[in-house]
């Protein structure tokens, strides 16, 4: 059974539920009548999970992924069948300034979560782990494909390379039913990390200020809408027991890489702004070009991105207008 009926009354545990992906994933799960528990570290009232009221329909466990026994207790008490591990420190610049806390959250947090699932293998039927295109590191030829080695060098990349390898280890060594999702730059309403290019640019332009660019504006990236990502994660959950999916990693991308200036100019066009970006060119610890092939997801999962850039950005701009009003 897949699709809408699959999630009816399924018991699901989501870490990182107050983040951009977690908030929209929880909404999709609740819309399909899943029984959802969430791990909440900090209850930010601007998070879409709280703003929407969706948190009122969830079982809430307070704590952090750095604490194994918080995770074990949540999975045990909720009797979680499916676990989505989204909690992470996700900002490249923060990782460069604070590698220790990034490794604690992204690496320790991952093996704690997977250890809790190993303890409760009688309960857990699927674990979907959020990774990133950054796990691949810098390569000679793009796009990234899943057969490439994981060669992160800078702190954030290394934390994601480790996330992938640890997840694969728990699957192959202990039979934990893990699947890994690798996405590029995820955007959409609910992203409160203003240093990221999409929310930062929208906020600046709505305030009639010049948006600032850390890089020289020519870095190329995948930009994928959060609703497409939430659907991809749920599809991985539905297929978690499939031998073609279990223990595998999947890239998710619309396969239309854009430069930073491309995405900024698209937002400027939709907002009718003539404000030129402030190009600072001070980025540290960032790979110049990164984008993914989604061929494996198309062929194995029959997944494709469904939102075009303008439609997704219009929805995103509307969300920030409401927030900042």
Phi-psi label, residue 308: left if phi above 0, alpha if psi -120 to 50, beta otherwise? beta
SS3 65: coil
Asked whether 234 and 28 are in contact (CB, 8 A), the reply is yes
38: phi then psi, degrees, rounded to nearest 5: -130, 150
Residue 301 is classified by DSSP as I
Query: Among 50, 237, 52, which residue's Cα sits nearest to residue 130?
Result: 237
156 is catalytic: yes
The catalytic position among 136, 144, 156, 223 is: 156
Using alpha carbons, list the distances in angstroms from residue 271 to 190, 202, 325.
19, 9, 15
Structure tokens at 249: 């990693």
Residue 135 phi/psi, 5-degree rounding, is: -60, -25
What three-state secondary structure class fits 294? coil
Cα angle vertex 161, ends 60, 41, to 5°? 20
Locate all alpha helices (DSSP H) within 16-136, ordered by sequence: 20-31, 48-51, 68-78, 92-97, 99-103, 109-119
Cβ neighbours for 59, distance < 8 A, ≥ 6 positions apart: 35, 36, 37, 38, 78
Say if residue 41 is exposed, middle or buried (CB neighbours under 10 Å; 0-12, 13-18, 19+).
middle
> Which residues are part of the catalytic machinery?
156
């Amino acid at each position: 059974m897949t699709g809408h009926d699959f999630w009816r009354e399924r018991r699901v545990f989501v870490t990182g539920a107050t983040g951009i992906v977690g908030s929209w994933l929880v909404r999709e799960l609740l819309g399909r009548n899943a029984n959802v528990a969430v791990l909440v570290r900090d209850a930010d009232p601007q998070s879409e999970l709280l703003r929407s009221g969706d948190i009122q329909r969830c079982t809430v466990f307070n704590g952090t992924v750095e604490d194994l026994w918080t995770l074990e207790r949540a999975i045990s008490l909720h009797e979680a069948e499916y676990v989505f591990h989204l909690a992470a420190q996700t900002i490249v610049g923060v990782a460069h300034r604070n590698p220790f806390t990034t490794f604690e959250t992204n690496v320790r947090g991952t093996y704690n979560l997977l250890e809790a699932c190993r303890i409760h293998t009688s309960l857990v039927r699927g674990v979907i782990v959020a990774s990133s295109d950054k796990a691949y590191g810098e390569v000679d030829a793009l796009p990234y494909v899943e057969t490439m080695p994981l060669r992160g060098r800078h702190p954030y990349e290394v934390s994601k390379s480790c996330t992938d390898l640890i997840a694969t280890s728990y699957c192959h060594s202990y039979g934990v039913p893990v699947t890994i999702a690798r996405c590029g730059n995820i955007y959409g309403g609910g992203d409160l990390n203003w240093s990221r290019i999409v929310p930062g640019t929208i906020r600046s332009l709505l305030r009639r200020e010049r948006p600032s660019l850390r890089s020289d504006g020519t870095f190329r990236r995948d930009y994928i809408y959060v609703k497409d990502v939430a659907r991809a994660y749920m599809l991985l959950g539905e297929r978690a027991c499939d031998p073609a999916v279990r223990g595998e990693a999947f890239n998710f991308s619309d396969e239309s890489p854009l430069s930073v200036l491309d995405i900024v100019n698209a937002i400027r066009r939709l907002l009718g702004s003539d404000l030129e970006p402030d190009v600072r060119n001070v980025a540290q610890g960032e790979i110049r070009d990164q984008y993914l092939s989604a061929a494996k997801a198309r062929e194995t999962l029959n997944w494709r991105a469904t939102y075009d850039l303008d439609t997704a950005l219009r929805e995103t701009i509307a969300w920030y207008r409401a927030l900042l009003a």
